[in-house]
Amino acid sequence: MVGAAGYSWQNDRAAGRHTDSGSLFVELPEEVRLTDVLTKLALSVLKEQSLKADLERLARLACRLITNCSGASISMLVEGQPSTVAVTDRVAVELDLIQYDNNDGPCIAALAGEAVRIGFIPTDQRFPHFAIGAADRRVLSVLSTPAIDHGKVVGSLNVYSNVEDAFGDDDRDAALIVAAEIAHALIKSSLLGKATQLRDQLQEQHDSATLVSRAQGVLMGLHECSQAQANELIRRAAESNQEGIVTVAERILASVEGDERAGSREQSSEIDT
């Protein structure tokens, strides 16, 4: 049987090796070069009308091109929330879901534009919730790559491995190539337009929530009240002045910043005298 990239599955199975968990790690022949990879990608992607089928093919292709891959997934923001839109196996989607639930992890970082490569997850302290989930599934390495179109992140490719220090520079380069094809597939989809709009709305909501949270903190410090009481003060001020909650929060922060600047000027004057 011939796979999407033109390789023989039987040859892959013969040339590959199995891990203790039973996953097959395919080792590409040394004569396969970057131009060959690009040619195979050009022949393999976007041959079906179904976006889902295209993305699933790319996820499988990534796992075949990248050494030591034991599972791969493709993520994007759907209706403002990160979502897995293609996956090669159960463990990959389980690890994605752990990251979505905690709003943290290599996949989330990649959706924000940061490429993440971790060689030994148990000693990495950046994503503790993800590390626990990975340990439960004997996953030791991860490579998450943003899928970028014209400077805009439209998705991410996430590759997992049961092997320590699984991904080298060649694997990173292969992931970049596949991620570019993922971006091309997504950008042609009407789903992306809706997802992009909702992502922008989500960012705006996040920025507004951050402003309100900062204003609540200011009020809690000034009035020695709880967060709920501070939130009620902001709400009442908004109703009284017929303003939005975000506008009230901005006024509170601006007032505090003004007081801090005035205090700094007074201290400077005292020092000069």
pLDDT at 27: 42
Q: Average the pLDDT over each of 126-130, 213-217, 268-272 and give the range with the smallest value.
A: 268-272
Work out the percent of the chain whose per-residue pLDDT is above 70: 70
- pLDDT of 9 > 50? The answer is no
Non-local CB neighbours of 192 within 8 Å, separated by 6+ positions: 76, 154, 186
Task: Report yes or no: 238 and 247 within 8 Å, Cβ to Cβ.
Answer: yes
pLDDT at 53: 86
Nearest to 163 by CA among 16, 29, 9, 21: 21
pLDDT tier for residue 213 given thresholds of 50, 70 and 90? confident
What are the tokens at 187? 């950008």
What's the whole-model pTM score?
A: 0.56
Q: Give alpha helix (H) positions in the chain.
A: 9-15, 34-44, 51-65, 90-102, 106-111, 128-136, 169-187, 190-223, 227-241, 245-272
* Residues 168, 218: Cα–Cα separation, whole Å: 47
Q: Average the pLDDT over each of 34-38, 52-56, 149-153, 163-167 and give the range with the smallest value.
A: 34-38
What are the tokens at 32? 């396969």
Q: Average the pLDDT over each of 15-24, 37-46, 169-178 and give the range with the smallest value.
A: 15-24
Answer with the residue of higher pLDDT: 199 or 113. Answer: 113
What is the CB neighbour count within 10 angstroms for residue 92? 26
pLDDT at 19: 37
Tens-digit pLDDT profile for residues 82-95:
999 899 999 999 99
* Residues 122, 230: Cα–Cα separation, whole Å: 40
Q: What is the average pLDDT across 174-201?
A: 77
Q: What is the average pLDDT across 236-252?
A: 89
